[in-house]
Amino acid sequence: MTLHPLKEEELNSHYTVNYKPEAVYSYTAGQALSKFLLGLKDGKILGRKCPKCGRVYVPPRMYCEKCFVENVDYVEVANPYLDAFTVVYYDNEGRKLDKPVTLGLVRFEETVGGLLAYVEGEPRLGGRVEIVAYDIPLRVRVK
């Protein structure tokens, strides 16, 4: 049997069915993340600490994934730095962006986890950043 790869023109000359699923979701933030979101309003980044191993999860988690016990205290975390970053040239539909966007993974010293953020300034791996907007997505500036 011979298989038939299609060319772009062939695809466009055929009848196509357009269908858009109307699925709308109302997600819940959960116990720990709800506190975190309230913290953002006060200009704070909250983590949550495991009573057994002492790991501080950012964003906060209800339970410790290693010890599998309930995390207890919420603590304000500090000293954000850039663990990784990328510069995006295309959007999710494959369209070229007018201006590339820098996105980074921001971590906080002595914590587990991290947050995604828009990055302003000249980014450097491992470099310190300051938070300019306590929002989702977070917005940070290179120090």
Partner 1 sequence: MRTNLYFRRVAVIGAGMTPFKRRYLETPQELAWEASKTALEEAGLELRDVDCVVIGSAPDAFDGIHMKGEYLSHGSGGVRKPVSRVYVGGATGVMTVISAWYHVASGLCRKVLAVAEEKMSPGRPHPQAVFRYIWDPITEKPLNPNLIWIFAMEMHRYMYVNKVSKEEIALVSVKNKRNALANPYAQLGAEITVEDVLKSEVLVWPVQLLDVSPVSDGAAAMVLVEGDVARRYTDTPVWVEGVGWTLDNTSWPNRELAYPRYLENAARMAYKMAGIERPQKEIDVVEPYDPFDYKELHHLEGLMLAKRGEAPSLLKEGFFDKDGEIPSSPSGGLLGVGNPIAAAGLMKTISIYWQLKGTGGRMQVKKPVHTGVAQAWGDLMQASTVVVMRN
Q: For binding to partner 1 (CB under 8 A), which residues are involved?
A: 1, 3-6, 11, 25, 27, 29-30, 33, 37, 57, 59, 61, 65, 83-95, 100, 103-105, 107, 112-116, 118, 125-126, 136-137
Nearest to residue 32, comparing CAs of 47, 44, 11? 47
- CB of 1 or CB of 15, closer to partner 1: 1
- CB of 51 or CB of 100, closer to partner 1: 100
What is the nearest approach in angstroms of partner 1 to the Cβ of residue 78?
17
What is the nearest approach in angstroms of partner 1 to the Cβ of residue 88?
5
The amino acid at residue 135 is D
Nearest to residue 81, comparing CAs of 120, 113, 126? 126
